[in-house]
């Protein structure tokens, strides 16, 4: 939830980038839903996001994860950039803070994925930090035709699988491989693995 600030004129208000995105997202979701004549329940059914979460987003009381925001975008037949793009955003410097859960794409006991690219980046390049627990596996179905992934191991050891091919990467190793076929990243080391992953769409 956003912190309250001392009263000031709208033109003088300065928002943290995450607050700016959340404020715009809440208003945009509400407007798009109204334009379609949808109730919160209808949007919930279409997106797979709970009615209570959608209500909190529209009232700017929630900080939705990237996965939730993506589901809402797809419900409106939009990509992520179209949904969260902030009008008149002119700042030349954008910072993604380590603890900002807006950018947590996935987080469970086996894997945590944090996006390092802006939420309003056009869907041609995506940059992620991936943490795989011991024995953790990240399996993916085929992406769009021509998609490739570029992986660098910051810590640990992993096995990369792309179709029928596979190889082992250790700390400091990098690989790129087809991601338009089923592929996987498997932690084969004795501890957690930390990876940097770039996805490039054709």
Task: Tell me what the mean pLDDT of segment 66-89 comes to.
Answer: 78
pTM to 2 decimals?
0.60
Domain parsing of the chain, residue ranges: 16-84, 103-200
Task: Tell me what the mean pLDDT of segment 178-198 comes to.
Answer: 96
Q: Mean pLDDT check: name the lowest of 62-76, 137-151, 161-175, 180-194.
A: 62-76
Q: What whole-number distance in Å separates Cα of residue 53 and Cα of residue 67? A: 13
Res 37: pLDDT: 87
Q: What whole-number distance in Å separates Cα of residue 132 and Cα of residue 108? A: 10
Res 43: pLDDT: 93
Res 98: pLDDT: 82
Check if the beta carbon of residue 25 is closer than 8 Å to that of residue 64: yes
Identical fold between 16-84 and 103-200: no
Domain 103-200 has CATH 2.60.120.10: yes
Q: Which residue has the tokens 């900080």?
A: 63
The rounded mean pLDDT for the chain is: 82
Check if the beta carbon of residue 91 is closer than 8 Å to that of residue 120: no
Would strands 125-132 and 158-162 be described as parallel, antiparallel, or unpaired?
unpaired
Res 63: pLDDT: 81
Would strands 125-132 and 183-187 be described as parallel, antiparallel, or unpaired?
unpaired
The percent of residues above 70 in pLDDT, for the chain, comes to 82
Sheet of 193-200: strands edge to edge? Answer: 104-107, 111-115, 125-132, 193-200, 148-155, 174-178
Token digits of residue 201: 């769409």
Token digits of residue 180: 């338009």
Q: What whole-number distance in Å separates Cα of residue 142 and Cα of residue 18? A: 31
Residue-wise pLDDT for 92-148, tens only, equals 677 777 877 777 778 788 899 988 887 655 557 889 999 999 999 999 999 889 999
Res 97: pLDDT: 79
Q: What whole-number distance in Å separates Cα of residue 150 and Cα of residue 160? A: 11
Q: Is the pLDDT of residue 183 over 50?
A: yes
Res 65: pLDDT: 83
Residue-wise pLDDT for 3-45, tens only, equals 333 333 333 333 444 454 556 788 889 888 888 888 999 999 9
Residue-wise pLDDT for 92-106, tens only, equals 677 777 877 777 778
1 — pLDDT class (breaks 50, 70, 90): very low
Q: Looking at domain 16-84, which of 1.10.260.40, 3.30.1130.10, 3.20.20.70, 3.30.70.940 is its CATH number?
A: 1.10.260.40
């Amino acid at each position: 939830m956003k912190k309250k600030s001392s009263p000031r004129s709208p033109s003088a208000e300065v928002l943290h980038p995450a607050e700016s995105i959340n404020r715009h997202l809440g208003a945009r979701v509400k407007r798009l839903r109204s334009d379609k004549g949808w109730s919160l329940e209808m949007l919930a059914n279409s997106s797979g996001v709970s009615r209570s979460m959608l209500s909190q987003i529209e009232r700017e009381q929630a900080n939705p994860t990237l996965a939730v925001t993506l589901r809402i975008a797809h419900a409106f037949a939009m990509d992520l950039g179209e949904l969260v793009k902030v009008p008149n955003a002119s700042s030349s410097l954008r910072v993604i803070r380590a603890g900002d859960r807006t950018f947590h794409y996935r987080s469970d006991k086996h894997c945590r994925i944090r996006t390092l690219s802006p939420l309003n980046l056009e869907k041609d390049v995506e940059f992620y930090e991936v943490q795989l627990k011991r024995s953790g596996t990240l399996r993916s179905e085929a992406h769009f035709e021509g998609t490739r992934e570029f992986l660098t191991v910051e810590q640990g050891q992993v096995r990369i699988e792309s179709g029928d091919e596979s190889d082992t990467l250790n700390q400091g190793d990098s690989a790129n491989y087809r991601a338009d076929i089923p592929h996987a990243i498997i932690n084969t080391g004795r501890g957690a693995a930390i990876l940097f992953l770039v996805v490039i769409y054709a």
